[in-house]
Amino acid sequence: MDTLSMATIESHNPRTGLVAGYVAETPLADVDAAALRAAAAAPSVAEASPATRSSWLRAVADALEAHQEELVAVADAETALGASRLESEVARTAAQLRHYADVAAEGSWLGATVDRPSGADTPELRRLNVPVGPVAVLGSSNFPLAFGIVGNDTGSAIAAGCPVIAKAHPAHPQLDVLLTEIAIAALDEGGAPSGTFGVVHGFSAGQQLVMHPSTAAVAFTGSQAGGFALCRLAASRNAIIPVFAEMGSLNPLVVTPAAAAARTEEIARGFVDSLTLGMGQYCTKPGLLLVPSGHGLVAAVTSAFEAAAPAGWLLTQPIATSYAVGVGRLLEGGGRLLAAIPAVQGGWAASPTLVAATPDQIVYDVAFSEEYFGPVAVVCEYGSEQELEQVLAALPGSLVAAVHGELADDPLLAALTRRLAHLAGRVVVNGYPTGVVVGWAQQHGGPWPATTAPAATSVGAGALARFVRPVAYQNAPADVLPPPIRDDNPWRVPQRIDGKVRRTGTRTRSAQ
């Protein structure tokens, strides 16, 4: 490699595989400068009120919507995800930022708690959550906007009071250049301190970011290999920092005999739709379908898959290569080919594939319970509840699991719903795993190896909790206390006082 190619990142068109542009890698001195700017901004970002930080996030959301056309064009050229999907992703990304703005202002995440002295010998304690400091965000290839450099991780980190330095994704570097311009202009206009948000490009830049002494936490969305590597890297620091890696997962979907009998075609079509959405490039893609034998579901799913005939490109050359290797592992390992749709021509096209496996294959060969990113799934027939349990016991943790059962007279539905809660961070009943709503009750996370931190969520109101740590003040005078734990509660956040939660907005009453 010559110096020039080492210092640039190639932007590719997935439809042709051809290079469509270049973006400069960030020199290591500039990564250091960006990290120091974030560290310098950290106190101002932390001390801004949540309402102020909310206004910054809303400014970015507005700017994304204002630039929708341009964003979709640049993103589609680099991802081949299509204009309609990308238009809705711009809208989703703006809505997410507004959600984190709402959550920040509501203030429950601050955990404001006051224990008044219960006697002469006991102190007064006041506890609140404070931002941890600069957060390194490494987004995903498959949601270039919603899980990208201004996606869920960045929105929730800034909402919680942390500056963000994001590493641009090599699958869409030109989009990330545009997003950086839009976000920084909006933050500047909105009055956010310089250093609230920065972006670096390049693999080495990402490593340096994770190792930088001023980085306090890492948020990652991507492959299991990438997440594990980041965990190991962070564990080699002098001061170990948490890595919140949300990785792909198997996401099993189980069908009870009653549901299989009652809704064969409907479940087959729904599964195929969920599996093939975005060419199977969802971290919530159902990668394993467990169906009772003898109900014709395997045939129905195969027909639905062939009828859907999904066609398209994968996001990157490494994803296309891994996909082909993964399908090969399933077939060489004894999986039975149910259907393979011919790949379209050119670029990083892939052949969507459906493979059948036996319960024994899943239990004894790890190849059949791994995630393969892209439009492939394993279908397995179970002969009895006992055999189903043997398969479930062999499965790794997932972000989401789904069960289809009949609401009346289906004893397996309740049992399986509870059983799947041990395997996943979200359990869907009579639905499909793709589609992650952003709200107060969302949980997008799950047991290892779906994430490196099963107590965390990367989507929804709970996402802020990743970027704070509690501090208790003991016998501190009122004028020294941070606003959320003062008696006059100027930010009007929920406070727990002597063990009882007070509603928001008690300021007027407590000031009387």
Which residues carry out catalysis?
Answer: 246, 283
Instruction: Specify whether the CB–CB gap between 154 and 164 falls below 8 A.
Output: yes
**Residue 156: alpha-carbon gap to chain centroid:** 12
Q: Whose CA is closest to 452, among 240, 245, 220, 216?
A: 245
Sequential DSSP letters for 346-370: STTB---EEEEE-HHHHHH-GGGGS
Residue with the two structure tokens 């997932």: 398
Instruction: Specify whether the CB–CB gap between 214 and 165 falls below 8 A.
Output: no
Instruction: Specify whether the CB–CB gap between 215 and 135 falls below 8 A.
Output: yes
Instruction: Specify whether the CB–CB gap between 157 and 135 falls below 8 A.
Output: yes
Non-local CB neighbours of 124 within 8 Å, separated by 6+ positions:
114, 115, 116, 117, 474, 475
* Least CB distance to a copy of itself at residue 114 (A): 6
Q: How far apart are CA 268 and CA 119, in angstroms?
A: 66
Residue type, 1: M
Q: Whose CA is closest to 400, among 208, 251, 507?
A: 251
Q: How far apart are CA 434 and CA 74, in angstroms?
A: 25
Backbone phi and psi for residue 244, each to the nearest 5 degrees, phi listed first: -100, 90
Non-local CB neighbours of 73 within 8 Å, separated by 6+ positions:
none
Using only C-alpha atoms, the chain has a radius of gyration, in whole angstroms, of 24
Based on CB atoms, which residue is closest to a copy of itself, 171 or 400?
400
3-state secondary structure of 387: helix
Residue with the two structure tokens 């001390």: 47
Strand partners, 243: 218
* Least CB distance to a copy of itself at residue 274 (A): 13
